[in-house]
Amino acid sequence: MLIVDKPRGLSSHDAVARARRLLRERRIGHAGTLDPLASGVLVLCIGQATRLSEYLLGEDKAYEGVIKLGERTTTDDAEGEIIASRAVPPITDAALRALEAQFSGPIEQAPPQFSAIQRGGQRAYALARKGEWVALEPRRVTVYELQLAPLDEPTAMAVGFQPSGVIQASQAGDQKGMLTGHLVIRLRCSAGTYVRALARDIGEALGCGAHLVALRRTQAGRFTLAEAVGLDRLEAAAREGRAESWLLPMDRAVADWPAARLSDEEARRLKLGQAIIPARATGLAAPAQGEVKVRVYDSAHVFLAVACWDGTKLKPVKVFDAAPPLVR
């Protein structure tokens, strides 16, 4: 696994391409894209770990961003053209708390017109670029935590935005004090939530319209900015022959699953694709019902497979080549 702190202005595809070059590994995939406007946590699966990416796509995400009030855009973010401008009303603390309550919990969210959702075999953004309006059904997403606050310079710095990337671009000449017409948004949400759509809807609830001007993903599943590396820093490490020092064990992708440790003979049979009844499955309890997926290790604690456990048998789902000891 490689956790990249993707810079603003770079697509997820381009970030993967740079990682391929620096690690000299073609088998690299991401576990959820970030728009070019956004920066922050981009989870990459390297080599055999690409087979684990499916288990990461549906995990919760956390973001911090900046909303500009008073303007709607075609894309619901700063990448699009302004299609409507309205006066921004006075916004009280009570109004922000009401918005937090309104947009927290399970909500119905209409995806942006410029999105990767397919209609008739074409991406919605491709149709939108042709000027075609696409009917996109609202989706049920969940916002677990939501905080809204006026944007000032100390707050913007505290949430990790570079002044050249956010404050100066969004100040419109106001170099000190409150950055009027802007809100900081912090949230933790389910996979599939469009933060730019949330910005749009918050603006509509205020009656002035809005769009997202900056976004930073601070967490994706169990991975945070604390263990992420910027691409420039990764490139410097690659020049010194140390790029692999940033790689995380591949079983970190499933580290919150139950773990089974097998004898050498049991491990051999499982790697041949056989379901086994382990003599003792360390760390495994009988599931409440049905089957659960577990990570499987041999006697040397080498991660060797993902398997299904029904309380009696382990059935291999994905078997991996020998790898060094990983999560302990």
The residues carrying an active-site annotation are 35
* 183 token code pair: 């809100």
223-224 and 210-220 as β-strands: parallel, antiparallel, unpaired?
antiparallel
Distance separating the N- and C-terminal Cα atoms of the chain = 16
Distance CA 302, CA 86 (A): 60
The neighbour count for residue 315, using CB atoms within 10 Å, is: 15
What is the rounded CA–CA span in Å between residue 327 and residue 52?
Answer: 15
174 beta partners: none
Q: Where are the alpha helices (DSSP H) in 24-92?
A: none
The C-alpha atoms of residue 115 and residue 92 are separated, in whole angstroms, by: 33
Tokens 């973010």 belong to residue: 77
Residues 217, 219, 225, 229: is their CA dihedral positive or negative? negative
Write down how long the chain is.
328
Number of alpha carbons in the 13 Å side-chain half-sphere of residue 16: 18
- How many whole angstroms separate alpha carbon 141 and alpha carbon 303? 34
Structure tokens at 228: 């992420």
From the list 221, 175, 213, 216, the residue with the least C-alpha distance to 54 is: 221
